[in-house]
Amino acid sequence: MTPEVVLVGTGNLASHVARRLKECGVALVQVFGRDPEKTKRFCAPLQIPWTSHWEAIRQDADLYMLCVSDQAIPVVASLLGKQLKEGAFAVHTSGATSIEVLAPFFERRGV
């Protein structure tokens, strides 16, 4: 079974991650971005559903990948954690930020 992934972020790293996930056959089921126009442009070539509204983030993904700046990780984790069901699995992509930044919001977490 292919895991379903929601990607949070539309920056340079997120674009590389999104392309690679698609190439590997991972089901990238949604992208969240703050800027609707940028998010739409980001998702169009890869044909990925998107949203710019926290309350519209899919609740049933297997993994939530936070591809945001180091400074944004705590804020994004907090907002995302409030939207998702208990037991959601979230990871961030920072090499400089501890996994523990996700601990208050996600029991299942990774880097």
The residues pairing with 63 across neighbouring beta strands, listed in sequence order, are 5
User: 48-89, pLDDT tens digit by residue?
Assistant: 999 999 999 999 999 999 999 999 999 999 999 999 999 999
Q: Looking at 19-110, which runs of residues are DSSP E strands? A: 27-32, 50-51, 63-66, 89-92, 108-110
3-state DSSP assignment of residue 4 = strand
User: 6-24, pLDDT tens digit by residue?
Assistant: 999 999 999 999 999 999 9
Tokens of 107: 């029991």
Q: CA nearest 48: which of 5, 100, 110? A: 5
pTM (2 d.p.): 0.96
3-state secondary structure 29-49: EEEECCCHHHHHHHHHHHCCC
Q: CA nearest 68: which of 57, 59, 80, 56? A: 80
Q: Sorting pLDDT into bands at 50, 70 and 90, what band is 2?
A: confident
